[in-house]
Structure 1
Amino acid sequence: MDLQDQLKNLFPDHEPQAEEISQDKEGDIWLQDEPIICKYEKRKGKPTTILEGYNGADGDFKKLAKEIKTKLSVGGSFKNGQVIIQGDYRDKIMELLKKKGFSVKRVGG
């Protein structure tokens, strides 16, 4: 006997409502006209990819950073309006952003 059956036994007159279908995450992020700058740097001898130039809300940029980090399975952070990704993932990040509808400019190397 699962939870739904137990609830039906306790509340026989109750009819469950249909669950709302959530929208895709892609529709939540504001797209901009100017390109996002994707550059490569070495910090303390280790390669890093830095994204900057997003002029929307910081919350949207944080969501975008989290999505990039989870899709690439890498570490990173969001500081001072920049997304810092551990490793050189410029090509993969640019491909992901272009699929989302952003224009991206590659800088450095």
Structure 2
Amino acid sequence: MAKKSLSDLGGLVYSTEVGRTCPVCRQAIADCVCHVPKRPAGDGIVRVSRETKGRAGKGVTLVKGVPLDDDALIALGKKLKATCGSGGTVKEGVIEVQGDHVDKIMSALVAQGFTVKRAGG
């Protein structure tokens, strides 16, 4: 049985200079490009729905399929939250706005030139 070296174990995972590093590309976790999750390309239709699952009965309005990069998506989320006068967040390419604001959000997105469909009930 051959003796294993440190490089056989996956390489450097922590550096005092940059903190945690990716074992594949050996870049800092913040700069890693090999594990960046890619959003699937949509069909160009923005879907707006209302959901309460996992939120103790509190409703949120979800906006999915917006064909924008992360920075523009955060800016759009901020604009939609201001339009509805409520809080929310942007997680994994989905804009969540607290409350039932499907109609307001749909009209705001149509005014910005998006193709919008109501999803769900």
Runs of 4+ in 1 over 2 A off after TM superposition: none
Kept in 2, the 8 Å contact 1:37–1:52? The answer is yes
Query: Could you state the TM-score of these two structures normalised by the residue count of structure 1?
Result: 0.67
In structure 2, the residue matched to 1:41 is: 51
Kept in 2, the 8 Å contact 1:49–1:90? The answer is yes
Query: Could you state the TM-score of these two structures normalised by the residue count of structure 2?
Result: 0.60
Counterpart amino acid of 1:41?
A: E
Which residues of 2 match residues 44-55 of structure 1 at below 5 A?
44-55=56-67
Give me the whole-angstrom Cα distance separating, in 2, the residues matched to 1:100 and 1:56.
13
The higher relative CO (CA closer than 8 Å, separation ≥ 6) is in: 1
Which deviations, in whole Å up to 9, do the C-alpha atoms of 1:47-93 show, x marking residues without a partner? 11001112321111111100011121100001111111100100010
SS in 1 for 2:59: strand
In structure 2, the residue matched to 1:72 is: 84
Give me the whole-angstrom Cα distance separating, in 1, the residues matched to 2:116 and 2:68.
15
Gaps of 5+ in 2: 1-41
Number of paired residues? Answer: 78
Give me the whole-angstrom Cα distance separating, in 1, the residues matched to 2:79 and 2:65.
18
Kept in 2, the 8 Å contact 1:33–1:103? The answer is no
Q: What is the root-mean-square deviation of aligned Cα atoms in Å?
A: 1.5
Q: Percent identity?
A: 38
Give me the whole-angstrom Cα distance separating, in 1, the residues matched to 2:66 and 2:118.
14
Larger fraction in helix: 1
Q: Closer, same or farther in 2 for the Cα pair 1:53/1:61, shift >3 Å?
A: same
Gaps of 5+ in 1: 1-31
> Is 1:102–2:102 an aligned residue pair?
no
